[in-house]
Chains A and B, each alone.
Chain A
Amino acid sequence: MGGRGANLAGSGVSMELDWRSAYLLQAKSDYEMFTTLAQKEDTPLCHTLHYLQMATEKLAKSFLSEPNQPWPSRHQAYVAFIHVLLLNPNPFQKILGYTRKDQYKASLGSIRRTAKTLEDLVPESLRTRPNPEYPWSSQGRIYVPVVYDFPGLRLQEVGMRKLLKFTELSFVMVENLIKSTSI
Chain B
Amino acid sequence: MDRAEVIELARRLAKEHVEGAPELEVIYVFPDEEELRMVEVDPLIPRALGDRVEPFYFRADPANGLPLLTALAVIRPEEDRVLRLPDEWGAWDDAVQLWPEAA
A binding-site residues for B, Cβ under 8 Å: 35, 38-41, 43, 96-100, 103, 106-107, 110, 155-158, 161-162, 164-166, 168-169, 172
Contacts and interface: CB of A to CB of B under 8 A. Distances in A.
Interface string B65-84: 01001101010101000000
Contacts of B72: 156, 161
Contact of A97 (B20, B59, B60, B76): B76
B45 to A, nearest CB: 5
Nearest to B64: A154
B44 interface: yes
Given A103-B43, A103-B44, A39 B59 contact: yes
Contact of A107 (B45, B49, B60): B45
Nearest to A93: B46
A103 B76 CA distance: 11
Interface of B: 17, 20-21, 40, 42-49, 54, 56-60, 66, 69-70, 72, 74, 76, 78
Question: For B20, B56, B60, B70, which residue has the most chain A Cβ atoms within 10 angstroms?
Answer: B56
A103 B47 CA distance: 12
19 contacts: A35-B57, A38-B56, A39-B59, A43-B59, A96-B46, A97-B47, A100-B43, A107-B45, A155-B58, A156-B58, A156-B70, A156-B72, A158-B17, A161-B56, A162-B44, A162-B74, A166-B45, A169-B49, A172-B49
A97 B46 contact: yes
Contacts of A158: 17, 20-21
Nearest to A168: B49
Nearest to B71: A39
A103 B58 CA distance: 27
Given A41-B59, A99-B78, A165 B20 contact: no
Given A97-B46, A103-B43, 20 more contacts: A35-B57, A38-B57, A39-B57, A39-B69, A40-B59, A43-B59, A96-B47, A97-B47, A97-B48, A97-B76, A103-B44, A158-B21, A161-B40, A161-B56, A161-B74, A162-B42, A162-B45, A165-B45, A166-B46, A168-B54
B46 A157 contact: no
Contacts of B56: 35, 38, 161, 164-165
Contacts of A97: 46-48, 76
Nearest to B19: A158
A164 B48 CA distance: 12
A168 B44 CA distance: 15
Contacts of B46: 96-98, 107, 165-166, 169
Contacts of A43: 59
